[in-house]
Amino acid sequence: MVVGIVGLVSIVICYGALGIVLGPISFFMGRSAEKEMALAPDAWSNRGMARAGWIMGLIQIILAIVVILAFGAILIWATSADDSNF
């Protein structure tokens, strides 16, 4: 969950620089922790924290894809602008 929080904060502050890396890490760590908790439900509590971790990781992955597509669209638009009017 901590990795997910750090990644979300970095997406907001740094426009996805660190969140692109931490998103998948948070997602897979949360999913594996939730699977481990399912195998031994008496040994673990805090299933909600694991679920929050993988949900934040999923949000980071989606936001990172949106940021990459937005930068790509801006780059394509900027390079295809008609400069003949200048």
Asked whether residue 84 carries a pLDDT value surpassing 70, the answer given is: no
Token pair belonging to 56: 């934040």
* Residue listed under structure tokens 């931490």: 22
pLDDT band at residue 74, thresholds of 50, 70 and 90? very high
> pLDDT tens for residues 21-30?
888 888 898 8
Identify whether 14 is part of a domain: yes
pTM above 0.75, yes or no: no
25 domain residue, yes or no: yes
Please indicate, yes or no, if residue 86 is contained in any of the structural domains.
no
30 Cβ contact list (under 8 Å, min separation 6): 1, 4, 50, 51, 52, 53, 54, 55, 56, 57
Cα separation, 59 vs 1, in Å, equals: 13
Task: Give domain status of residue 39, yes or no.
Answer: yes
Tokens of 64: 């990172």
User: Is 75 a member of any domain?
Assistant: yes
Structure tokens at 80: 């295809």
Domain that holds residue 74: 2-79
With beta carbons less than 8 A apart as the criterion, state whether 60 and 22 touch: yes
**Domain count for the chain:** 1
Residues 5-43 pLDDT 10s: 777 777 667 665 677 788 888 889 888 888 888 888 777
